[in-house]
Structure 1
């Protein structure tokens, strides 16, 4: 079943709320957890392990205190059945659209599949899924909600990737497993956040 309106995610739940939890667990060091949207025994054990390490009540249930420790938010982004289903569909659509554009060439100022720059890519992908974003990377960064650990579909931002007065200079879409998809200087591709280059230029995550 989907996570309930109480904001608690537990064994047997399915959907984007569980994906959010699993992605946060991966980023906290539980790399064996798959972000498959199914709260099974492996996810429950990872929650218990995290709770024990954080000095929380160990019950294997991801409630407000567990989410606060994991992500800086006291609840998952989508907790009601209706909202969770809608968010899951939207996130899946965003990731699917983005992955379908892998290999598209880079073009400064580009906003179409003929060629993208990084913010043009984000604008196009989200627009195809019914969400409008500001045009520039800095404006998108300013409009987003800061999160300490990303869920699939959140945006990751970088600074100092080229000479400008803006704080945010590059961005991509987090797809889980510490990877993100973006319009790099060599075209739309998937990269890993653990690479030295992206670690050195990392700015933060934003939820839109």
Structure 2
């Protein structure tokens, strides 16, 4: 989460500031020194941008194609070796309108390069396998035919129920910048100093891994694969925690009302679970705000691609903003919010920083410090409630 920090409880930065600093990004707001607690530890895990006025981006957009370029595929060239949420969106777009059938894993590898090159060839573009401005504009134009309202609005229709949540990659190598459940366990095992609310592979964590590998006679690369994980005393199942997903709790025939209740029931069942930055459960390992919402949506039988539990842990991605930008989540005014809607919260610059599930009766359930039912307030955890909510089910 980037942007101005809103009166932290102990004068420290928001976790996404640390993440952005690790990526070499800069912010207009000064960064207070690190400390023990954070006013708003929820990582939003997905690239900035949504619709005609990019939330938190400071950019006014005038055309649908440009809006799609910023909100879905990003303003920068994507190329082999790129990673993160924008790559996941590119892969999603190639599958949707580019004739591809590739895994959405946030990694610009050989299969993505081939898919881009094939798309470019069919569109009469330079077939270099690099997703630059011309390639993305063409994808944008094709997407606009399906999703003509890039600002969201009623969008192209709501998310369609699925019988099973598609499997996400499991047991992937832990790299610099990663966050989530496995990183939380790793930091504790290696005794790497960190905030109780920040669980990320910082340079200090990578250095600790390298030291451990050197002492154990392992390949010294600072990456945590199966061999290093086992040497740390963890079991194989723990290494696959990154792919844990809640499966739908009802059949395809279920209507909106039971799906709303399934989503809320899952979220409330996690009450008391720890906060884990980049975490998406299960219960004993904790959630962040968007990880909780993602798994609650899974429980209700919807999968908001390109977001997955896998991309949720990637460095440089912010899941909350990707969810907010999803055109299949219909936006309605805050005053019309109803049970099961997603309530959004921003920093002082208007950048999406937090999400909660509305329960009705002026209450929400969210993960901030822990999973808990709270009063739905115009100011929550130092953030400002947005004037629109997103409706998952009609």
CA-to-aligned-CA distance 1:110-163 (integer Å, 9 cap, x gap): 0112110111111111112211123500011111221112111110000118xx
Q: What is the DSSP-based 3-state SS (H/G/I as helix, E as strand, rest coil) of the residue aligned with 1:137? A: helix
List structure 1 segments (4+ residues) > 4 angstroms apart after TM superposition. none
Q: What is the DSSP-based 3-state SS (H/G/I as helix, E as strand, rest coil) of the residue aligned with 2:352? A: coil
- Pick the structure with greater CA Rg: 2
Say which of 332, 339, 359 aligns to 1:147.
332
Structure with more strand by fraction: 1
In the superposition, the TM-score normalised over structure 2's length comes to: 0.29
Q: Relative contact order: is structure 1 or structure 2 higher (C-alpha 8 Å, sep ≥ 6)?
A: 2
Matched with 1:137 is 320
Q: What is the DSSP-based 3-state SS (H/G/I as helix, E as strand, rest coil) of the residue aligned with 1:126? A: helix
Q: Displacement of 1:192 after TM fit?
A: 1.1
In the alignment, does 2:283 pair up with 1:100? no
Q: Displacement of 1:197 after TM fit?
A: 3.7
Q: What is the DSSP-based 3-state SS (H/G/I as helix, E as strand, rest coil) of the residue aligned with 1:127? A: helix
Matched with 1:157 is 344
1:101/1:197 CA distance change after superposition, 3 Å: closer
Return the alpha-carbon distance in structure 2 between the equivalents of residues 195 and 166 of structure 1. Answer: 14
Structure 1, gaps ≥5 residues long: 1-71, 78-82
Matched with 1:170 is 354
Q: What is the DSSP-based 3-state SS (H/G/I as helix, E as strand, rest coil) of the residue aligned with 1:98? A: helix
In the alignment, does 2:289 pair up with 1:118? yes
Structure 2, gaps ≥5 residues long: 1-152, 159-251, 313-318
Matched with 1:67 is none
Return the alpha-carbon distance in structure 1 between the equivalents of residues 332 and 253 of structure 2. Answer: 18
Q: What count of residue pairs does the alignment treat as equivalent?
A: 125
1:197/1:181 CA distance change after superposition, 3 Å: closer
Matched with 1:31 is none
Return the alpha-carbon distance in structure 1 between the equivalents of residues 382 and 277 of structure 2. Answer: 24
